[in-house]
Amino acid sequence: MSLTGGCYCGALRYEAQGAVRFKGQCHCRECQYISGGASNLFMGLGSEGFAYVKGQPATFTREDLDAPATREFCATCGTHILTRTPRDTSMLILKIGTLDDPKVFEGPQIAIWMNDAQPYHLVAEGVMQMPGFPGG
């Protein structure tokens, strides 16, 4: 699959090549902060096929956690582009709202961190739900 996208103001642009490993919807408390209260839609992609073609992101990694994720975002407009997790450095978590054509997402296969979900968070019928992160 070939994907393109960027931030709201246009300061960051990216291209991604390769297979989509999974399509998800995350309800963890951290994603609620980033999204403004909603769940977060994402695709898991191989990191080797991803490149910024315009600009470089700002990053944030919490220092108070044992194995924190690193979030990449636009320093100008704040758009959250992706997350890199120490669980699997060969993969990145790309945010669907940054895609030029978000319709390619076609919906999540799995909803994770449902133990943090709010009563107003919706999950489509038939989507597998996990209380935390799959496998751990």
Note whether 57 and 81 are within 8 A (CB): yes
Q: Up-side HSE of residue 6: CA atoms within 13 Å toward CB?
A: 14
113-134 average pLDDT score: 93
pLDDT band at 59 (very low <50, low <70, confident <90, very high): very high
Residue 72 forms part of a structural domain: yes
The reply to whether 135 falls in a domain is: no
Confidence tier at 83 by pLDDT (50, 70, 90):
very high
Classified as helix, coil or strand, 112 is strand
Domain at 123, CATH number: 2.170.150.70
- State pLDDT tens for residues 3-44: 999 999 999 999 999 999 999 999 999 899 988 899 999 999
- The whole-number pLDDT of residue 136 equals 59
Q: Domain residues for 97?
A: 2-129
Contact 86, 47 (CB under 8 A): no
Dump the DSSP string for 60-73.
Answer: EE-SSSSS--EEEE
Q: Per the structure, how many domains does the chain have? A: 1
Task: Look at residue 134 and tell me if it is in a domain.
Answer: no
Is residue 104 a part of any domain in this protein? yes
The first and second tokens of residue 89, run together, are: 């450095």
pLDDT tens, 90-105? Answer: 899 999 999 999 999 9
**pTM for the whole structure:** 0.89
